[in-house]
Structure 1
Amino acid sequence: MTRHDLPTGPEARTRLAAYADRLLEGARPYASPSGSLITLPGRPGGYGTAVDGLEGFARTFLLAGFRLAGEDGADPTGLAERYAAGLAAGTDSTHPERWTRPEEHAQAKVEAASLALILDMTRPWIWDRLSPDVQERTVEYLGSVVGDPGYPDNNWVWFRIVVETFLRSVGGPFSADDVARDLAAHDRFRRPDGWFADGPERSFDHYTGWALHLYPALWPHMSGAAEAAAAAGDDLSLRSAADREHLARYLDDALALVGADGAPLVQGRSLTYRFAAAAPFWAGAYAGVGRPGQLREAATRIVRHFADHGVPGPDGLLTLGWHHPWRPIAQRYSGTGSPYWASKGLLGLALPASHEVWTAAPEPLPVDVGDVLAIAKAPGWAISATHDDGVVRVINHGTDHAVPGADGGDSPLYARFGYSTATSPLLDAEAWSSPLDQSVVLLDAAGRATHRTGFELSHASLVEPVEPVENETSATGAPTAAVLASTADAHWIEVDPTAPDHGSGRPGTSTPAGRITTVSLVRGAWEVRLVRVSAQPEIPEPAEATALRIGGWAAGPGLVSTVVPLLGDVAPVRGETTLDDATPLAGPTTTPWSRYAPVPDGWVAVGIYLARTPALGQPRLELTAGQAAVTWPDGKQTTANLP
Structure 2
Amino acid sequence: MISPYTGWTREHWADLADRLLLSARRHASPSHARVSFPGEPGGYGPDVDALEGFARTFLAAGFRVAGEGGRDPLGLMEWYADGLAAGTDPHHPDRWVRLDEHGQAKVEAASIALVLHLTRPWLWDRLPPRVREQVVDYLAPAVGSGYPPINWVWFQIVVEQFLASVGGPYAQEDIDAGLALAESFEREDGWYADGAERAYDHYAGWALHFYPVLWREMAGLPPDPRHLARLERFLDDAVHLVGADGSPLVQGRSLAYRFAAAAPFWVGARAGAGSPGLLRRAASGIVRHFAERGAPDENGILSLGWHGPYRAIAQDYSGPGSPYWAAKGLFGLALPADHPVWTAVEEPLPVERGDFARVVRAPGWLVSGTRADGVVRVVNHGTDHSHPGSGLADAPLYARLGYSTATFPLLAGDPLDQSVVVLDEEGRASHRTGFDAGPVRVLPSGTLVGSSRWRARWGEQGPGPDHGYSRAGAPMRDGPEVEVVSVVRGAWEVRLARLTGQARRLRMGGWPAPEGGPATRVAGGPGLGESGTEVAATPLGERTLVPWCATPGEAEPGRWYAAALLLGDGGRPPVIGEGKITWPDGTIDDVPEPETATFPGLSK
Cα distance in 2, alignment partners of residues 115 and 137 from structure 1: 13
Q: CA deviation at 1:511?
A: 1.0
Kindly indicate whether residue 234 of structure 2 is the aligned counterpart of residue 250 of structure 1.
yes
Residue 130 of structure 1, aligned match among 121, 127, 130: 127
Q: Is 1:46 the equivalent of 2:43?
A: yes
Q: How far is 1:640 from its partner?
A: 4.2
How far apart in 1 are the matches of 2:215 and 2:173?
18
Do structure 1's residue 24 and structure 2's residue 21 form an aligned pair? yes
Q: Partner letter of residue 94 of structure 2?
A: E
Distance 1:271 1:561 in 2: 23
Amino acid at match of 2:70: G
Distance, in Å, in 1 between the alignment partners of 2:572 and 2:584 is 5
What does residue 88 of structure 1 align with?
A: 85
The residue type equivalent to 1:584 in the other structure is P
Partner of 2:484: 518
Residue 554 of structure 1: aligned partner = 512
Contact 1:36 1:89 in 2 (8 A): yes
Alignment correspondent of 1:616: 571
Report the Cα offset of residue 345 of structure 1: 0.8
Q: Report how far residue 7 of structure 1 moved.
A: 5.3
Q: 1:318 and 2:276 equivalent?
A: no
**1:162 aligned to which of 158, 164, 167:** 158
Instruction: Name the structure 2 match of 1:527.
Output: 493
Write out aligned runs for 1:205-244 (5 A): 205-222=201-218, 224-226=219-221, 237=223, 240-244=224-228
Cα offset, 1:111, TM superposition: 0.2
Q: How many Å apart are 1:225 and its aligned residue?
A: 4.0
Task: Please list, as runs of the form range in 1=range in 2, the aligned pairs for 1:439-458 lying within 5 A after superposition.
Answer: 439-458=419-438
C-alpha distance in 2, partners of 1:221/1:404?
Answer: 38
From 527, 534, 540, the counterpart of 1:577: 534
Q: Secondary structure at the match of 2:493?
A: strand
| Gap regions ≥5 residues in structure 2 | 595-604
Q: Secondary structure at the match of 1:495?
A: coil
Partner residue, 1:99: 96
Aligned to 2:601: none
Question: Structure 1 residue 589 and structure 2 residue 544: aligned?
Answer: yes
User: Which residue of the partner structure matches residue 560 of structure 2?
Assistant: 603
The Cα shift of 1:220 comes to 2.2
Deviations 1:232-253 (A, max 9, x none): xxxx65xx21000000000111
Contact 1:483–1:640, Cα closer than 8 Å, also in 2? no
Q: Distance in 2 between matches of 1:586 and 1:4?
A: 30
Would you say the 8 A contact 2:3–2:345 is kept in 1?
A: no
Q: Tell me what 1:416 maps to.
A: 400
The 5 Å alignment of 1:322-337 reads: 322-337=306-321
Matching of residues 84-483 of structure 1 within 5 Å:
84-149=81-146, 151-222=147-218, 224-226=219-221, 237=223, 240-427=224-411, 429-430=412-413, 434-465=414-445, 479=446, 481-483=447-449
CA contact (8 A) 2:533 2:545 kept: yes
Q: Is the 8 A contact 1:88 1:134 kept in 2?
A: yes
C-alpha displacement at 1:545, in angstroms?
6.1
Distance in 2 separating the partners of 1:203 and 1:561: 28
Distance 2:117 2:190 in 1: 28
Partners of 2:256 and 2:313 within 8 A in 1: yes
Kindly provide the CA deviation profile for residues 526-583 of structure 1, in whole angstroms up to 9, marking residues without a partner as x: 0000001002xxxxxxxx76411100011102221111013x3x3421011111x3x2
Query: CA, structure 1 residues 105+225, in 2 after alignment: closer, same or farther (shift >3 Å)?
Result: farther
**CA apart distance, 1:204:** 0.3
Residues 272/157 of structure 1: CA separation in 2 closer, same or farther (3 Å cut): same
Equivalent residues in 2 for 1:65-76, closer than 5 Å: 65-76=62-73
How much does 1:587 deviate?
3.2
CA deviations 1:464-498 (Å, max 9, x no partner) are 13xxxxxxxxxxxxx2x1000110111111433x3
Q: Find the aligned partners of 1:4 and 1:17 in 2 and give their Cα distance.
A: 19
Query: Any idea what SS the aligned residue of 1:147 has?
Result: coil
Structure-2 change in CA distance of 1:6 and 1:484 (3 Å) = closer
CA distance in 2, matches of 1:5, 1:448: 46
Query: Which amino acid in the other structure matches residue 516 of structure 1?
Result: V
1:499 Cα deviation (Å)? 2.0
* Distance change (3 Å), C-alpha of 1:3 and 1:439: farther
Q: Partner amino acid for 1:221?
A: E
SS in structure 1 at match of 2:451: strand
In structure 1, distance between residues paired with 2:235 and 2:182: 18
SS class of match (2:52): helix
Which among 51, 58, 61 is matched to residue 61 of structure 1? 58
The amino acid across from 1:638 in the alignment is D
Percent identity of equivalent pairs:
55
AA partner of residue 636 (structure 1): T
**Are the equivalent residues in 2 in contact too, given 1:462–1:482 (CA < 8 A)?**
yes
Once the two structures are TM-superposed, the CA of residue 623 in structure 1 deviates from its matched residue by 4.5
Letter in 2 for 1:561: T
Q: Which amino acid aligns with 2:295?
A: V
The corresponding residue for 2:598 is: none
Q: Runs of 4 or more off by more than 2 Å in structure 1?
A: 2-8
Amino acid in the other structure paired with 1:36:
A
Range 109-118 or range 330-339, more displaced? 330-339
- Aligned position for 2:456: 490
Secondary structure in 2 aligned to 1:488?
strand
Following superposition, the deviation at residue 586 of structure 1 comes to 2.9
- TM-fit CA distance, 1:505: 1.8
1:442-481, Cα deviation, whole Å (9 max, x unpaired): 011111111000001112100013xxxxxxxxxxxxx2x1
C-alpha offsets along residues 583-604 of structure 1, whole Å, 9 cap, x if unaligned? 2213310100111121233100
Query: What secondary structure does 1:44 align onto?
Result: coil
Q: CA deviation at 1:376?
A: 0.1
1:328-348 CA-partner distances (Å, limit 9, x unpaired): 011012111000000011100
Match of 1:634 among 574, 585, 589: 585
**Conserved in 2, the CA contact under 8 Å of 1:3 and 1:261?**
no
For 1:123, what is the secondary structure of its paired residue? coil
Deviations 1:46-77 (A, max 9, x none): 10000000000000000000011011111111
Q: Deviations over 1:269-322 (max 9, x none)?
A: 000000000011001011111000110111011100111112111110000000
Inter-partner Cα distance in structure 2 for 1:438 and 1:571: 16
Alpha carbons 2:415, 2:421 under 8 Å: kept: yes
TM-score (norm 1): 0.90
- TM-score, normalising length from structure 2? 0.96
Letter in 1 for 2:483: T
1:326-372 Cα distance to aligned partner (Å, 9 max, x none): 00011012111000000011100010001011111221110110001
Aligned residue-pair number: 589
**Separation of aligned partners in 2, 1:438 and 1:527:** 11
Secondary structure of 2:541's aligned partner: coil
CA distance in 2, matches of 1:641, 1:423: 28
